[in-house]
Chains A and B, each alone.
Chain A
Amino acid sequence: MSSTEQGTSSAAPAEPTTAPESAAAPEVPESFYYVHGKDKVVHKVSAGALQHSALIHGMISNLGYTEEQAKANPFPFENIDGDILQMVVDWCNQHKGKPTPPEDTNLPKQKEKLFDLVLAVNYLEIKELLTYCCKQVAMMVKGKSPEEIREIWMIPTDAEDEAAEKEAKKRAGKEAAGETAAAAGDAK
């Protein structure tokens, strides 16, 4: 149910009810919010689906937006690619209101996007999806030799790490020297 289409929604808080579930209690209208990624495409997502994200849940829990306000103020996630956000929204919708199983077959299969997906899920604090994504990343090196792991995960050798560290120090030194020189110029 991830969508950019418009639909009826309400931000009114749910009425507390003590009636048993089996009784024909009036259905509480669902609240919807709007999010967009780097591509500015707005996705309409239910509050129930967004509960998976601790970050967004924290943001919306006390907002009390009306439909118009929610539509007018989509949450911007400029650091997340549009297609990645779409995947995340799809996943949240598929798992709305139910716990995720330990082996989740509903995870998007686009492995080439895994890196961006993991970062987005980490940022949005979607715990269950993050665990599953991390498992997927871990499985990339299952049964591989150390050198294969180095290649897949792009792990530098100690010599490469040391060279990079030297380079970073050199750069930082140069930058500091440049700032000192600029400050001295300003003083003159």
Chain B
Amino acid sequence: MEEPPEKQKFGLLKCPFALREEVIRNMEFMDAFHFSTLSKRSKQLVRNARYQTFRITFCFEEKSSKDNIEMEIKKGERLKISLSDLNVPPKRGSSSLDGLKLANLINEPSDDYRKKLSAHLLFIFHFKEISVQIGRNIKHVEDLFLWSITKQFDTVGLMAQKKLHITPDYLQFVLNATNAKEYFLDFRMNDLNFKYQLKDCESLDVSGSIQCLDTDGILQRNPKMKELHLEELPGEQINDLLKQWINGEVNDLEVLAFFNWDGYSNEVILDGIVTMKTKLTEEQARRMFGLWDASSRAVDIQRKIDGQLAAVHINQSGCFVSMCNKLLAEL
């Protein structure tokens, strides 16, 4: 009788550190994850190897049974892990990897498998982009487990097609505890009684409950801000934002877009601001802002500190400002 072939072995830990790390970097993502669960040493080894991954997004869906982690390992290579609260394995993550099973491989105590798995992934892998999307009711403080692991994100989305059921207290906690470059806040809540002072953000998109956003000094608090898209912001606040830009320190702002289907009053928005006849032709304005009709108005404004121009365009769907001199020059 033939003996089964002996399993090929390789003493990885006998190799020099740099070599071990090179091997790790050449592993498939899930193989590297499995390897990291073998011991404290293997976990640290994967971390030290700086295994590069593209993106991780923690998704809290409308139904908590559909919560998941989405990962883009390399361009186009995606992986989904279920973080469902369901205890019925076949239903949990039928189209994705079962997060509970993966968490059980990690030899560390934790009363919440979602927290254990998320912390492990964020520890061992280097994600270029970390995002979180909340689209559901946050019932318990435990649902905010992610913020006990990290408060630094690239993108944060608070979006609900219907109603975001998060309580004002939890919402305040999430917004105040988070540091992110990019925010998408799209929800309606009528009982908000706090003012959100956004800091160190580069791109902000708010629709719905705009009243919670404190726009006083917002450009000073966010000197790297590039894009602001705000819906239904009162005209007086837009006027204040334009004045912040005119009087403020040099910043990277490129675009301001204020949407309002009722339109804005030119007088309110440009009140107290020195305007100049725009250098844009009608055709250029149409290409830059998308909409132009007889009732549209376009003027240029100028920043005091360096003389940079911005084109302000007010039409029936809102007020749009482009600070991009280069773009203007190319038109």
Contacts and interface: CB of A to CB of B under 8 A. Distances in A.
B122 interface: no
Given A146-B37, A152-B7, A138 B23 contact: yes
Nearest to A130: B22
A25 B10 CA distance: 50
Nearest to A112: B8
Contact of B8 (A111, A119, A134, A146): A111
A174 interface: no
B7 A151 contact: yes
B13 A141 contact: no
Interface stretch (B27-35, B212-220, B268-276): B27-35
A154 B34 contact: no
Interface in B67-97: none
Given A134-B26, A150-B38, A155 B12 contact: yes
Q: Is the interface of A mostly helix, strand, loop or mixed?
A: helix
A135 B22 CA distance: 9
Contacts of B27: 138, 141-142
Interface stretch (B39-47, B137-145, B163-171): B39-47
B19 interface: yes
B15 interface: yes
Nearest to B105: A146
B9 interface: yes
B110 interface: no
Contact of B11 (A111, A144, A149, A153): A153
Given A142-B28, A158-B40, A161-B40, A131 B22 contact: yes
B109 interface: no
Interface string A107-123: 00001101100110010
B16 interface: yes
A140 B16 contact: no
Contact of B10 (A115, A135, A157): A115
Contacts of B40: 158, 161
A101 interface: no
A146 B22 contact: no
B1 interface: no
A45 to B, nearest CB: 24
B26 A131 contact: yes
Size category, A interface: 20 to 34
B327 interface: no
A17 interface: no
Size category, B interface: 20 to 34
Given A122-B19, A158-B107, A141 B31 contact: yes
A137 interface: yes
B329 interface: no
A122 to B, nearest CB: 5
A98 to B, nearest CB: 22
Given A118-B19, A122-B16, A122-B19, A137 B10 contact: yes
Nearest to A119: B15
A153 B42 CA distance: 11
A76 interface: no
Contacts of A58: none
Given A149-B34, A153-B10, A135 B26 contact: yes
A109 to B, nearest CB: 13
Interface in A71-120: 111-112, 114-115, 118-119
A149 B28 contact: no
Interface of A: 111-112, 114-115, 118-119, 122, 130-131, 134-135, 137-138, 140-146, 149-158, 161
Given A137-B12, A145-B34, 16 more contacts: A111-B8, A119-B15, A122-B15, A122-B18, A137-B23, A140-B8, A141-B35, A142-B28, A146-B37, A146-B38, A149-B35, A149-B38, A153-B9, A156-B41, A158-B39, A158-B40
Interface of B: 7-16, 18-19, 22-28, 31, 34-35, 37-42, 105, 107
Ranked nearest first, the 5 interchain pairs of A and B with the lowest CB-CB distance are A138-B26, A153-B12, A138-B27, A134-B22, A146-B34
